[in-house]
Every structure is written in C-alpha cells, then in structure tokens.
C-alpha cells in the first residue's frame, strides 16, 4: 500500500476498520436488512428537511441539502473511487429528488417528517454508515472489493472486534 493510500485510511475514512466494525455490529440478517432498507430513506428525509431551513443566501449558494450531498459524495469518493462514485451519484440523485419533493410539498408539510435516531458515534453513523451499507450490498450481490484482499482484511478485523466484544461482555458478567 502506497503512502497516498495509507494517508487516506485514517480515522473515519479508514474503510477497512469502518467496514469491519460495521459488519461485526450488523451480523443478524434482520438487523442488516433494516439498515439496508432504512438508512438511505432517513438520509433522504434529512435532505428534504434541509430544503426548508430559512437561510440568508439564495439557492444554490445557500442550499444546505446540496452542501450535504456534495460533502457525502466527496467523502465516499475519498474512501473508494468506484463504489464511492456510484454512491455519490445516488446521493446527488437523492438531493435532486428531495428538492423536487420539497417544491411540491411546501414548507408546512415538510416539518411533519421525523428525523432518524441519534447516537454517540455521529461521524461513523451519519457519514459512513450509508456508504458501508451500500458497500455491503455491492459485496454481497457482486463480490465487489475496493481492492484485492479487502474482504480478507475486514474479516480479520471483524473477528477481532467480535472477540473483543465477547471478552468484555464476559468480564462484565463475572464482576
């Protein structure tokens, strides 16, 4: 792995670590299906709500939904060019659809939508989770890997995370 790739794989954008943690937490098929079905609609609802924020700048300069869609697209491109480009395009399509729906709904109807749940790991959940779900779907349906050996590395990290979680649970049970 080159220095450029290594620099790209730190923190929230460390795709192997993020995907290993994500898979270790979403092993049950019902949980995985719920995430696959609900994460993107929640993001869509958030984009829709953002269209109704009163801002001093006119659109498109003052369009927080577009800014969010572009930020997600850029982050997804940063972690993987191929799947990231496709996920980024899906996000921009969601922005366009949410904008069209916002224009049709009007201000009053939009605030009846509810926001998704909040958690303590905001960067991972709100930035990476939709992409990780998308990556898991690509992997399960087409065997997609961002690079050779990715899934093997993720499996090793996932097994270590599961083992660590079980050991922690055992220690808590014995105390």
3-state secondary structure of 153: helix
Output 62-71 pairs: Cβ under 8 A, ≥24 positions apart: 65/95, 65/98, 65/99, 66/95, 68/95, 69/94, 69/95
Whether 153 contacts 15, CB under 8 Å: no
Question: Can you tell me the mean pLDDT for 42-60?
Answer: 77
The full set of domain ranges for the chain reads 32-144, 147-175
**In Å, how far are 66, 141, 155, 165 from 169, measured between CA atoms?**
42, 33, 21, 6
Residue 112 neighbours by CB under 8 Å, 6+ apart:
none
**pLDDT at residue 88 is higher than 80:** yes
| 107 against 97, higher pLDDT | 97
Q: Over pLDDT 90: what percentage of the chain?
A: 12
pTM, entire model? 0.61
The whole-angstrom separation of Cα 32 and Cα 86 is 21
- As a whole number of angstroms, the distance between CA 141 and CA 139 comes to 6
Is the pLDDT at 124 greater than 80, yes or no? no
The pLDDT score that the predictor gives to residue 118 is 42
Return the pLDDT at 115: 44
DSSP characters over 66-132: HHHHHHHHHHHHHH-HHHHHHHHHHHHHHHHHHHHHHHHH-HHHHTTS------S-HIIIIIIHHHH
Classify residue 142 by burial, with Cβ atoms within 10 Å: 0-12, 13-18, 19+: exposed
Q: Tell me, what's the pLDDT at 6?
A: 47
């Amino acid at each position: 792995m080159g220095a450029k790739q290594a620099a790209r794989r730190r923190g929230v954008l460390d795709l192997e670590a993020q995907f290993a943690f994500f898979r270790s937490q979403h092993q049950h098929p019902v949980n995985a299906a719920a995430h696959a079905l609900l994460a993107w609609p929640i993001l869509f609802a958030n984009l829709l709500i953002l269209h109704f924020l009163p801002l001093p700048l006119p659109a498109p300069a003052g369009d927080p939904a577009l800014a969010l869609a572009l930020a997600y697209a850029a982050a997804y491109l940063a972690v993987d060019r191929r799947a990231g480009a496709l996920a980024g395009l899906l996000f921009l399509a969601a922005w366009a659809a949410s904008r069209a729906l916002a224009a049709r709904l009007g201000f009053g109807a939009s605030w009846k939508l509810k926001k998704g749940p909040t958690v303590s790991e905001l960067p991972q959940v709100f930035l990476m989770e939709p992409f990780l779900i998308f990556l898991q779907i690509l992997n399960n349906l087409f065997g997609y890997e961002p690079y050779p050996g990715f899934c093997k590395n993720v499996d090793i990290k996932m097994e270590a995370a599961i083992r660590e979680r079980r050991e922690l649970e055992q220690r808590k049970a014995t105390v």
